Structure 1
Amino acid sequence: MSYASDFVTEIPVWGYGLVFLIALSIVLISIPIVKRFALQWGFIDQPSARKVHQQPIPRVGGISIFLGTTIALCAIFLLNLFNVLSIELHSAIWSVVLGSICFFLIGFVDDSVGLSPISRLLVQLSVSSYVWLADVRIEFVTIPGLGLTHLGWLSLPVTVIWLVGVVNAINWIDGLDGLASGVSGIAATASFIICVYTGQYTAALLVVALSGSLLGFLYYNFNPAQIFMGDGGSYFIGFLLAGVAVIGLVKGATVTAIFLPFLILAVPIFDMSAVIVARLRQGCSPFLADKRHLHHRLLQAGLSHRSTVLVIYAIALWVGSLAITFVGMPNSLVILGGATGLLGYMSWKAWQSAR
């Protein structure tokens, strides 16, 4: 399989490391400031019957994730490191960045004053449609019996559904300390590895910056969490991952390329899909919050908070490793084997603790 590079020359490994460290450092430094801001202005997530935490916790940690990612990227482009400005970057790259900023603002407004599900969805659809006009498009799908099929005008609804769907999938899985940030970090890392291997170096810059931000945030967000990302954070993360999947993974018209994003984001996508189906089967609104999510079911089965999160991490790591294997990366079977062993071990430990 051959992939076309969107950069003339590669970015050195230390360059990606620099982007990662800038994002990581900004998040680690800014979280205490954001916590004070949240406490002062009342951006607090209160305990409730549906939620797991037992005390009020600041809920706008997504500000730090947003700042870490965007500042790291701006530093690379404004300083013209690695000679990036001499390379004609596709408009889709900037569209994904701008779209993720817009989604962060949508989420932050929702965290601040609250938006109705319908108004929130309409704004999300509008931004995603604009991004499609800016050439962030899914143009091929695989249809059983027909194989690879060009979408034509259907590209718009398919792309919009993908972008909005992933954003809300990440948002919905944000139900336990460290769960959404860890699963998203694993997805971002898998996307980064695949983008670099397939020559999509610009897209790789986006997700390595996100990875650094998420690792820094996880330091404060893992159980017991000191801060939550809020809708602003989950929307920003979801759109960036979904956008990179379109411009960095689904570049070639191949079945494997189109299947990769679904593998990398399988955990939040499956969780959201299963919850929607269960709600509709019982005649409930798909937007009605409840305790049908995978993490709720694992808790009900007797797993501890941390065990539940770690088991889901292991599942996310396994499907991410499977995606890496599908692109034919050298030694990927070793990675997949290790992830399989880890998943088996974590499942066994969880079963033992639940007995």
Structure 2
Amino acid sequence: MIYLILLLISFSLTYFIKEYAIKKSLVATVNERSSHTVPTPHGGGIALAITWFLGLLYLYFTDDIDLNLFYALLVGIVISLVSFLDDIYELSAKLRLIFQSLVSLGGLYFLGGFESLDFFVFSIENQIVTNIFAFFMIIWFINLYNFLDGINGYAGSEAIFLSLSGFILFNENHFIVLIVAVLGFLYWNWNKAKIFMGDVGSTLLGYNIAVFTIYYSNQTSENFWIWIILFSLFWFDATVTLIRRKLNGEKLSQAHKKHAYQRLTQAGWSHYKVTNYSVVVNIILFCLVYFVSNIFIAFIFSIILLNFVMKYIDKKKSFIKYS
């Protein structure tokens, strides 16, 4: 019953935020980086965040969540608040980075740090090295999720996929809370979006995935690669695009439309089609995790799959030959 209530809260809050934004003309304007063509309300991630933290509190009071994980996830309130202010006032990149760094340190503190990093043939257990890696990984996940939130249903469907996968693999109820929190918003964002998530939602989701990755990796080192594979559609696109832009000599802080999903929409694919095909790729990635017993082999297959996907997109819309 509680999950149905949370779903209704997310659904209703998103609707009221949408109506309020339309009334006050708080809409995302169309610019050169936009993948949408119609001014649309933003801030739907507020409903997602409120529902998520209400659900976390429920799990806390019913003793249905590990306390270390609870406090680490609760730190996400900070990134949500800062991103909410950024959606309104456009905070400087330096100020955002400062708060992202503080949030990363807070999350790592409550998780007890990142214990070890297993690279299949060798393992790094030096706590200084592993925690520096984890610190930058959290910041990268926060930002890349924000980068990949650009078309209807894309970021939301990724969150549903990761949460559902997490529940199937680890059978913990915080994943159900995240599913219903996102699902109530996604109804209004799917296909022809009536409202956008905004940074307040996308940065929180990126932070949550980073926390899950570290938390479950501390239980079993193999779990790190499980989460890396499950999240690979997003981090692969963001990372490859960043490297390519750097090699091109581009200013990395400059707005662009060169992510794989953006280039597909420029090639004529609808948002609906891109999102649906991303779901198909994610299902394949889950099957690799679930059915391939050797996680190293599963990781190699996932990278091969994503390379084929990227090459296909490059043929549809060249990366280098347009600005």
TM-score, with normalisation over the residues of structure 2? Answer: 0.85
Alignment of 1:159-170 (within 5 A): 159-170=134-145
- Per the alignment, residue 251 of structure 1 pairs with 218
- Per the alignment, residue 201 of structure 2 pairs with 233
Alignment of 1:3-152 (within 5 A): 18-78=1-61, 80=62, 84=63, 90-143=66-119, 145=121, 147-152=122-127
Distance change (3 Å), C-alpha of 1:237 and 1:221 = same
Q: Which amino acid aligns with 2:238?
A: M
SS of equivalent residue, structure 1 residue 287 = coil
- Per the alignment, residue 247 of structure 2 pairs with 281
Alpha-carbon deviation of 1:322? Answer: 2.2
Alpha-carbon deviation of 1:63? Answer: 0.8
Cα distance in 2 for partners of 1:314, 1:59 equals 27
- Per the alignment, residue 208 of structure 1 pairs with 176
Cα shift readout 1:226-266 (whole Å, capped 9, x = no counterpart): 0001000001111112212221x213343x22211101111
Cα distance in 2 for partners of 1:281, 1:230 equals 29
Between 1:91-100 and 1:45-54, the stretch displaced more is: 91-100
Q: Which amino acid aligns with 2:252?
A: P
Cα shift readout 1:74-107 (whole Å, capped 9, x = no counterpart): 23444x3xxx27xxx6442232222211111121
Cα shift readout 1:161-183 (whole Å, capped 9, x = no counterpart): 12111111211111111111011
Cα distance in 2 for partners of 1:168, 1:320 equals 23
Distance change (3 Å), C-alpha of 1:136 and 1:21 = farther
Distance change (3 Å), C-alpha of 1:37 and 1:306 = same
TM-score, with normalisation over the residues of structure 1? Answer: 0.78
Cα shift readout 1:180-215 (whole Å, capped 9, x = no counterpart): 10111101111122121xxxxxxx222211111112
Q: Which amino acid aligns with 1:240?
A: N
Cα distance in 2 for partners of 1:148, 1:193 equals 27
- Per the alignment, residue 298 of structure 1 pairs with 264
Q: Which amino acid aligns with 1:167?
A: I
Cα distance in 2 for partners of 1:217, 1:125 equals 28
Cα distance in 2 for partners of 1:175, 1:240 equals 19
Contact 2:144–2:235 (8 Å) recurs in 1: yes
Alpha-carbon deviation of 1:72? Answer: 2.4
Q: Which amino acid aligns with 2:102?
A: S
Alpha-carbon deviation of 1:316? Answer: 1.9
Distance change (3 Å), C-alpha of 1:195 and 1:271 = same
SS of equivalent residue, structure 2 residue 75 = helix
Among all aligned residue pairs of Structure 1 and Structure 2, give the percentage whose two residues are the same amino acid.
Answer: 23
Distance change (3 Å), C-alpha of 1:206 and 1:144 = closer
Alignment RMSD (CA, Å): 2.6
Hey, which bits of structure 1, 4+ residues long, moved more than 6 A? Answer: none
List gaps (5 residues or longer) in structure 2: 317-323
SS of equivalent residue, structure 2 residue 9 = helix
Distance change (3 Å), C-alpha of 1:274 and 1:67 = same
Distance change (3 Å), C-alpha of 1:112 and 1:59 = same
Alpha-carbon deviation of 1:37? Answer: 2.8
SS of equivalent residue, structure 1 residue 134 = helix
Cα distance in 2 for partners of 1:23, 1:233 equals 16
Distance change (3 Å), C-alpha of 1:72 and 1:252 = closer
Distance change (3 Å), C-alpha of 1:51 and 1:210 = same
Alignment partner for residue 315 of structure 1, among 264, 276, 281? 281
Between 1:102-111 and 1:117-126, the stretch displaced more is: 117-126
Alignment partner for residue 242 of structure 1, among 210, 215, 229? 210
